[in-house]
Amino acid sequence: MATEEKHHDQTEAPVLEALENYHRSGELAFTPPGHKQARGADPEVRRILGDAVFHGDVLASGGLDDRRTRGNVLQRAERLMAEAVHAEHAYFSTCGSSLSGKAAMLTVASPHEKLLVGRDAHKSVVSGLILCGLRPVWVEPAWDPERHLAHPPSAEAYERAFREHPDARGALVTSPTPYGSAADIAAIAEVCHRRGRPLVVDEAWGAHLPFHPDLPPWAMDAGADVCVTSIHKMGSGLEQGSVLHLQGGLIDPADLASRADLLGTTSPSVLLYAGIDGWRRQMVRHGHELLTRTLELAGHVRTEIERIDGLHVNDADDFCGPGRAAEFDPLPVVIDLGELAISGYDTA
């Protein structure tokens, strides 16, 4: 769990540095993992995966850090992440945003209590409702009948849901969608906070948002209480790397940490921690530059595809406006094939 202490050296990468020190020391632990830094791994597996995978696979406590975690390696990395993205706390997860979302939901509401949930939620949210025993109050997304896709629900939709279910413990919205359409998080947060209820944002597709002003507002900057990001989607971390972000006084940091610990593995992958930690440092150092170039490339791709007969690249004019999305991320390039006599399946 990160603390609220500020102004740390963002050029540090505590997980990567501790891993490097572990290799430099030449230690061989009498603990799992049983491959013993690749020595015990199958030669064919080593040939295909490379030894670097095994070299990065050590125990989090009793390997990366000592058994009493006196080096605070993970805590320092989480603190740097929180500071980098303007959150008060950050929690790393090696079980993907699927677990991070469940931890957030279980913190906001207890079994048999209501939670407002956008009906376009991810499978992991639905499974979280089942496992946590929560009662969903479905909030209808903004449906685009022409393109047959859903944009995030509006603030007005959450307002109506709260009026009909004033006992709901909080709200969850998915933003941005895989199509790049994003909710008016600030307005939804205001609807929640007027009632003293927290807002959870499933921002699995928005890990890049804090690092460039030409992207939709980042959930923490827009006033959300909890935000879940997948570092492996729009970041360069490894699969299953996820971060829970927290701010404000509506959720106790210790409660969120305990729920994440309850659901999480006791054998977290240091490889995933290292990927998250290194990506954070890269984005602080070079994120604006990298994303500026990425936005330019996406713009070029959009322009060139738009010139092809029968193809249309959806943009903010298509996705945003009354009854549609509030914000637009141009990096997902969504191509409309409506003028062609073939389906998307055929095209793929």
The domains located in the chain, with CATH, are 14-64 (no CATH), 73-276 (3.40.640.10), 287-347 (no CATH)
Is the bond preceding residue 14 a cis peptide, omega within 30 degrees? Answer: no
Q: How many residues does the chain have?
A: 348
Look at residue 118 and tell me whether its pLDDT is greater than 60. Answer: yes
| Rounded CA separation 62/53 (Å) | 18
**pLDDT tens, residue by residue, 35-58:** 989 999 999 999 999 999 999 898
> Mean pLDDT over residues 13-30, rounded?
87
Query: For 29-33, 44-48, 235-239, which range has the lowest pLDDT when averaged over its residues?
Result: 29-33
Look at residue 157 and tell me whether its pLDDT is greater than 50. Answer: yes
Q: Are the C-beta atoms of residues 273 and 93 closer than 8 Å to each other?
A: no
Using the structure block, give the residue that is written with the tokens 């992207």. Answer: 215
List the alpha helices (DSSP H) in 154-195.
155-164, 185-193
* Token pair of 117 as six digits: 């949930």
Query: For 217-226, 260-269, 272-281, 287-296, which range has the lowest pLDDT when averaged over its residues?
Result: 260-269
Look at residue 236 and tell me whether its pLDDT is greater than 80. Answer: yes
90-113: b (≥16 Cβ within 10 Å) or e? bbbbbbbbbbbbbbbbbbbbeeee
Query: For 107-121, 198-212, 257-271, 281-295, which range has the lowest pLDDT when averaged over its residues?
Result: 257-271
* pLDDT value of position 3: 43
pLDDT band at 344, cuts 50/70/90? confident
What count of other Cβ atoms lies within 10 Å of the Cβ of residue 50?
11
Percent of the chain with pLDDT over 70: 98
Helix (H, G, I), strand (E, B) or coil at 40: coil
**pLDDT tens, residue by residue, 63-111:** 887 788 888 899 999 999 999 999 999 999 988 888 888 999 999 999 9
Look at residue 4 and tell me whether its pLDDT is greater than 80. Answer: no
* pLDDT value of position 6: 54
Closest by CA position to 280, among listed 221, 211, 194: 211
Look at residue 319 and tell me whether its pLDDT is greater than 60. Answer: yes
* Token pair of 56 as six digits: 């990065």
**pLDDT tens, residue by residue, 279-289:** 999 999 999 99
- Dihedral of the alpha carbons of 16, 21, 27, 29, in degrees to the nearest 10: -40
> Mean pLDDT over residues 307-323, rounded?
94
* pLDDT value of position 7: 65
Look at residue 11 and tell me whether its pLDDT is greater than 50. Answer: yes
